[in-house]
Amino acid sequence: MRTCVIFNPAARGEKAARFRQHLAEISTQCTLKPTYAAGAGRALGAEAAKEGFEIIVAAGGDGTVNEVLNGIGDVPEALARVRFAVMPLGTVNVFAKELRMPTGFTAAWNVILQGRETTIDLPEAEYSAGGKPQTRFFAQMAGAGLDSRAIDLVDFQLKKKIGGLAYVMAGLKALKGPLPQIVATDGKETHQGELVLIGNGRFYGGKYPLFPLADLRDGLLEVSVFPKVNFQGFMRAGWGLLLNQLYSSGGAKHFKAESIQLYSSLPVLFHVEGENTGQLPAKFSIRRNALRVVVP
């Protein structure tokens, strides 16, 4: 199968360094497309789809995964014929964890070469930017409120040094100011909170099952609305996760829907896959069985 690997040649970290050591080896088995600027993964994903590659690999973190995925989605009919694969090289790699992709290079590359696939649902966010309608696909998760503010506050130089802990520190900073209320509605249920999280898969922020009832193939998004985000709320959510009782003691409202709309009376950023994408209002919906992914 014709395979293309899209990667960031300037990525830091031990996993990225090990990957670069294998570039000469895998160059005989695939086509390599290094990114040339921030956001270039999307253009390269579209380029690879137009060139007819059967497997397109995003080698990087969740941000790279999202860029390449959207590049494939930019090409008409490409989602129906391309197998999307992930080589986890980033800080958190939530989607790779959801797919149970190995973290070691050799094991992950062997999975990709075998090309075993499954089909999962593909969520998308619809919003407006610059007065024009926009669409952004995502594979794993989206959110607005505290976490999107924290992403906006992340010190990326610090992230290079301490990894995921930089997000924790940014989250503590985000708690210092007032957070606007966000309304989440599917037309049947309506809830308000300072943090709204939307999951296609079960995991958030690593291997934390913040969406315990989520299913990549059920045609539904799982929505978690946290009415108040403070120390007490964090303790309740942590206790719920620890006891596997997030729904009963986590302090959040949960529901599942094919489509969900988020809006606020104040400006609020939203993110997909941990990267801020636009401002509310936004509609999140799902395309059932629309994404072919390579899995172990």
- Separation between Cα atoms, residue 136 and residue 144, nearest integer Å: 15
Q: Output the DSSP codes for 241-292.
A: HHTT-HHHHSS-EEEEESEEEEE-SS--EEEETTEEEEES-EEEEEEEEEEE
Which stretch, 13-17, 120-124, 205-209, 227-231, has highest mean pLDDT?
Answer: 120-124
- 111 close to 101: Cβ distance less than 8 angstroms: yes
Report, as an integer, the average pLDDT of 9-36.
85
| Bridge-based pairing state of the strands 31-34 and 3-7 | parallel
Q: What angle do CA 295, 58, 116 make, to 5 degrees?
A: 20
Residue appearing with tokens 């009832």: 213
**Coil, strand or helix: which one is 21?**
helix
Within 8 A by CB and 6+ apart from 279, the residues are: 127, 129, 267, 268, 269, 270
Residue appearing with tokens 């489509």: 259
Tell which wins on pLDDT, 165 or 220. Answer: 220
Q: Using a pLDDT cut of 90, give the percent of the chain over it.
A: 64
| 195 beta partners | 145, 226
Q: Which of 21-25, 134-138, 220-224 has the lowest mean pLDDT?
A: 21-25
User: What structural domains does the chain harbor?
Assistant: 3-115 (3.40.50.10330), 124-289 (2.60.200.40)
Terminal alpha carbon distance of the chain: 17
**Coil, strand or helix: which one is 158?**
helix
Report, as an integer, the average pLDDT of 61-67.
93
| 85 beta partners | 57
What pLDDT digit, counting tens, does each position of 168-207 carry? 666 666 667 788 999 999 999 999 999 999 999 999 888 8
pLDDT confidence tier of residue 213, bands split at 50, 70 and 90:
confident
* DSSP structural state of residue 164: T
**Token output for 79:** 């989602």
CA distances from 167 to 146, 162, 163, 180, 276 (A): 11, 10, 8, 20, 13
- Separation between Cα atoms, residue 5 and residue 45, nearest integer Å: 9
Within 8 A by CB and 6+ apart from 227, the residues are: 191, 192, 193, 194, 251, 252, 253
